[in-house]
Amino acid sequence: MIRTGVRIGVLLYLILAVAPNVNALQLLLVPQSVYVLPDTPSKFDVYVYNDTKHSAEVPSLESFVATYVLRSRDGGKEMAVHKVGRVFSHSLMGHKLAPGNAEHTTMELPIDTGQYDLVELDIHVGEEVKVQSNTVLLLADRTSKGRGPGAKVDKPAPASSPKAAVTPEGKS
């Protein structure tokens, strides 16, 4: 019994030791604002982090492909997939990232929300070896233009609130 347990333990250790480290690089996508404004590119911070004990090859962050789909608040969605890519006439070489280190860059993306309310977006970098980011959820803001990240956000009045119920004449 003990011998079997030891064998299983050794086997598990060997599997873990020789298995490729698939978590070599983490690509973190962070929007600078959750709102997507009309005719205004959305800005993102992008971090790539080497979560291994070895240097890892990082594809150039200047060339990327973003993927987004549009949804409405009622659960409907646009029957389309959007791809926004930044491509260069000559492939950009990657570089090494030391273990435990991270790099930061920023990028802007034109996002056309049309009549939809929500944007579900992720990016990936690299061609042969792709590094995929997390997915972020953004809100389409069709009511204002040029609202900065620090601007005050007006909360919509609920339908049952006094503000919504009272007309200019005083009663609804």
Contacts of another protein in 28-67 (CB under 8 A): 28, 30-35, 39-41, 43, 45, 47, 49, 51-52, 54-62, 65, 67
Q: How far is CA 79 from CA 32, 69, 76, 138, in A?
A: 27, 8, 9, 18
CA-CA distance, 126 to 63, in Å (whole number)? 8
- Nearest distance from C-beta of residue 15 to another protein, angstroms: 17
Applying CB under 8 A, which part among 11-19, 144-152, 155-163, 164-172 lies near another protein? 144-152
- Nearest distance from C-beta of residue 142 to another protein, angstroms: 16
Verify binding: residue 72, another protein, rule CB under 8 A: no
Number of residues forming the site for another protein (CB under 8 A) = 86
Q: Compute φ and ψ for 12, nearest 5 degrees.
A: -60, -40
Contacts (Cβ under 8 Å, ≥6 apart) of 8:
none
CA-CA distance, 146 to 138, in Å (whole number)? 16
Verify binding: residue 117, another protein, rule CB under 8 A: no
Q: Of the candidates 140, 146, 143, 102, which has an alpha carbon nearest to the alpha carbon of residue 121?
A: 140
Of positions 72, 91, 144, 161, contacts another protein by CB under 8 A: 91
Verify binding: residue 87, another protein, rule CB under 8 A: yes
- Nearest distance from C-beta of residue 21 to another protein, angstroms: 5
Type of residue found at 22: V
Applying CB under 8 A, which part among 9-17, 98-106, 154-162, 164-172 lies near another protein? 98-106
Q: Which uninterrupted H or E stretch holds 137?
A: strand 136-140
CA-CA distance, 114 to 109, in Å (whole number)? 15
Of positions 3, 83, 155, 163, contacts another protein by CB under 8 A: 83
